[in-house]
A and B are shown apart, each in its own frame.
Chain A
Amino acid sequence: MQAKELACKIVSVGAWGSYFANWDELQQLMQGSDVGQTKNVGPKPAVIPANERRRAPLPVRLAVESSWQATQAANVPPESLTCVFVSGLGDTDLTDYMCKTLASEHKELSPTKFHNSVHNAPAGYWTISTKTMSAANSVAGYEESVSLTLLEAMIQCESENVPLLVTFYDAPVADVLQPILANREPFAFSLILYPASADIDGTLIRANVTYNERAPWPQLQSSNEYIAALYANNPTAKILSLAPLLTQSFACEDVVKMPLSKGTSVTFQRSQGRV
């Protein structure tokens, strides 16, 4: 059977990083603005109750912050959204904590840190904070996290005919693991997707999988060193290669091709005009 073309609308975007607090600020950096004098401290997503937020690890706060921004920008109730969360590297700070503790004489782990260490902790905090009872997937794809998860989200959006929140996030890697997983920058990015037939404003994106070839990741057009390092080292920042399709102010590229697996690639194409 031939692979079907996938189509859905991107309705809104959320984003957070050291030098941007939202999608507008990220676009300015990508277009060449200088980074600010001070780094943002970790995000404090308002939707997580204060007592929970204090205990929430950075990956959770990153993911929930950008998810909340995208949901607000789309002006849709969060509980109406099925969600897919992805991190390429997981919470290495908690892995580091657990492995150090377990390598010591006293192996008692904090129960809160243990349950926060599950890969779906961000999805859990999101669904608990927003009272969302829809399906929440939590996936990993290492270097291909972005392409695999976009594909997964579009398939789910179209096959279940539901609006969908997809959130990409990765936090800086703990020191011991730095030599093999180089990321030093926090990053989170969210998209709200609707089925192509939905009566809502958005950018129509089509996706096609191609076989027996592995495309390289696109070169990112950015003169900003911070953005270039982010793109190179943070697996989920590879979503920035999709930026040309998300804003008219970038060069007129309408097609972005990404590697999907050893033997496949995926092409995302923007349909002309807004629909």
Chain B
Amino acid sequence: MNIDIIDYESCSAAGINLAALRVSLRQHKSGLIKNDLPDSALNTWIGRVEQVDAIDDLQQWQSRNNALAALGLEQGAIKQTLANLTKKYGSARIGIVMGSSTSSIDRTETAYTDLDTNGELKPKFRQPLVHNPHAPSLFVAHYTGLTGPSLTINTACSSSAKVFATGARWLEFGIVDAVLVGGVDTLCLSVLHGFNSLQLLSENPCKPFDQHRDGINLGEASGFAILQRGTENTNSSGIRLTGYGESSDAHHMSHPHPDGLGAKMSMTQALQRAQLPPDAIDYINLHGTSSRANDLIEGRLVSELFPRTTLCSSTKAWMGHTLGAAGITEAIIAMDTLKTNTIPGSMNLETLDQALDFSIQATDQQRVCQHVMTNSFGFGGNNCTLLFSRVG
């Protein structure tokens, strides 16, 4: 594969842009806070992006999810990079692939708390372009002015990892000359109370892979990356997408396969596509949600597939599990290690789960990485693994 990442930005509770995220990572400064979402009394911790609250001028596009996408698109050089590409290729030759699980259901929730006396939607909530699962891409197309094909992937927590696979295929077939891939997902009552109903939320800051982990924290995030064919880009960041794997568990809607067969398949596929042996992988950003079952299965698989020289961490203790935006957030953290040469430690890890034995530790490590990997696993048994490499 010959797909280059020419720009990327991340927006989460750990930092509203990449520069701030890097600082939080280095300082091990978590963005998690005690749940203070209005109308939710759940005793848990969340990763809320405070700056989103102020964005209330989106009119017919207003939703918290769209506001978080807009905030993300204002960071770094993303808008300028898109403007340069649009000038070169025209807006119709640039595609959009967004991943999300909630889309704008936050807005639907709000609309239902404020129905008129007949039980109908008030005029300000009559937003067909917002109350549908394609809303993130429709909004990003509107906000950026891009007019090429735009698709939304909604495979729960693997959504914004899979956008890289779809975006890469579009580029390889020349359907577009550049593609903006991304993910955006928002804290709302549906996800908080939904995960609570599954008894998956922790009352404490999450501790991925720790012996005493007791559940997940939810967060919100947006993130974007711009992809181009490697032969044509003019602004390489020095990072290439070299592999991806996509698979299904075929097991259960909300429990992972006990032997992680689907996850194993997605990791193996990514290696095969990149034509790399497992020992070539310097770092894996794990899915690592801090749930009892998921971490155990993923940790066992990694120790089975990779040598001790492959360093691993989960970064969910910084911003929580950002669901449909977790894939892009963690892809960015993984690929950024190719630039910073610093592998983030697994924050909040005190005692590794006694059933596990692989290269994970709480402290950062310095290494010039050549190849890094990230895992994303979602409801419905939907798995995606991405592999990024240093160019040259």
The chain A residues found within 8 Å of chain B, CB to CB, are 1-4, 6, 79, 87-90, 95, 98-100, 102-103, 107-111, 114-121, 123-125, 127-128, 130-142, 145, 148-149, 151-152, 155-156, 158-159, 176-177, 179-181, 209, 211-212, 260-264
B109 and A103 form a contact (CB under 8 A)? yes
Asked if B307 CB lies within 8 Å of chain A CBs, one says no
Q: Which of B134, B193, B251 contacts A88 (CB 8 A)?
A: B134
A124 and B379 form a contact (CB under 8 A)? yes
A130 and B112 form a contact (CB under 8 A)? no
Give the residues from 114 to 167 in chain B that come closer than 8 angstroms, CB to CB, to chain A.
115, 119-121, 126-129, 131-135, 137-138, 141, 147-156, 162, 166
A89 and B132 form a contact (CB under 8 A)? yes
Q: Quick one: which of A98, A155, A159 has the most chain B CB within 10 A?
A: A98
Given A103-B109, A109-B197, A262-B147, 13 more A-B residue pairs with CB atoms under 8 Å apart are A3-B175, A4-B174, A4-B175, A107-B189, A107-B193, A114-B195, A124-B380, A124-B381, A128-B250, A177-B131, A209-B175, A264-B92, A264-B147
B380 CB to closest chain A CB, in angstroms? 3
Main secondary structure of the interface of A (DSSP, over half): mixed
Asked if B101 CB lies within 8 Å of chain A CBs, one says yes
B321 CB to closest chain A CB, in angstroms? 14
B229 and A102 form a contact (CB under 8 A)? no
Contacts of B261 in A (CB 8 A): 133
Q: Which of B109, B153, B174 contacts A1 (CB 8 A)?
A: B174
Q: Which of A131, A152, A176 contacts B112 (CB 8 A)?
A: A176
A154 CB to closest chain B CB, in angstroms? 9
Residue count of chain B within 8 Å CB distance of chain A: 76
A123 CB to closest chain B CB, in angstroms? 6
A-contact bits for B236-249, CB 8 A (1 contact / 0 none): 00000000001111
In the complex, A152 Cα to B155 Cα: how many Å? 15
B141 and A261 form a contact (CB under 8 A)? yes
A151 and B149 form a contact (CB under 8 A)? yes
In the complex, A119 Cα to B162 Cα: how many Å? 15
Q: Write 22 A-B pairs (CB below 8 A) sorted by A numbering.
A: A3-B175, A89-B132, A99-B111, A99-B112, A107-B193, A108-B193, A114-B190, A116-B253, A119-B155, A124-B379, A132-B248, A137-B155, A140-B133, A141-B152, A142-B134, A155-B169, A159-B173, A211-B92, A260-B149, A261-B92, A262-B141, A263-B91
In the complex, A6 Cα to B149 Cα: how many Å? 15
Asked if B105 CB lies within 8 Å of chain A CBs, one says yes
Asked if B56 CB lies within 8 Å of chain A CBs, one says no
B365 CB to closest chain A CB, in angstroms? 33
Give the residues from 349 to 392 in chain B that come closer than 8 angstroms, CB to CB, to chain A.
378-382
Give the residues from 193 to 234 in chain B that come closer than 8 angstroms, CB to CB, to chain A.
193-198, 229, 232
